[in-house]
Amino acid sequence: MRFCTAINCMDGRVQLPVINYMKSRFQADYVDMITEPGPCLILAEGIPDDLLQSILKRIDISINVHHSDSLAVVGHFDCAGNPVDRERQLEQIKKALSFLRQRYPRPALAGLWVDENWEVEEIAFDGPKT
């Protein structure tokens, strides 16, 4: 069994596109979904701390118990939890990836954007292509 991890918005519209993309991109059997409204904002800014710590605890479980070797941070069109434009979310995703790289040196990291057609675009990647 091979796991990867998506740090994704709770918005149900983005779940299946991200799961399908992650399984294909990282040849994974399963995708651990860590969901919060607007997670790229939480990871980029580190606030609120209780949500940041909750996300990190769930990443730790995914990496240490499920041996996930790939993490993605996801932003999307029409996000109620982070109602900023695409460009701002892309900046947040890149900042979130930089933060995660400091804490998690091993896994591949990807930044994903889900557009208004619910299609996934990889906007950043750090790690070996699998």
Which sequence spans correspond to the domains of the chain? 3-126
> Does the domain spanning 3-126 belong to CATH 3.40.640.10?
no
DSSP letters of the chain? Answer: --EEEEEE-S-GGGHHHHHHHHHHHTT-SEEEEEE-SSHHHHHHH--SHHHHHHHHHHHHHHHHTS---EEEEEEETT-SSS---HHHHHHHHHHHHHHHHHH-SSSEEEEEEE-TTS-EEEEEEES---
Summarize pLDDT for 74-98 with one digit per residue, the tens: 999 999 999 999 999 999 999 999 9
Is the predicted pLDDT of residue 9 greater than 60, yes or no?
yes
Question: Residue 105 and residue 55: Cα distance in Å, rounded?
Answer: 17
User: pLDDT digit string (tens) for 21-76?
Assistant: 999 999 999 999 999 999 999 999 999 999 999 999 999 999 999 999 999 999 99
Pairing, β 30-35 against β 108-114? unpaired
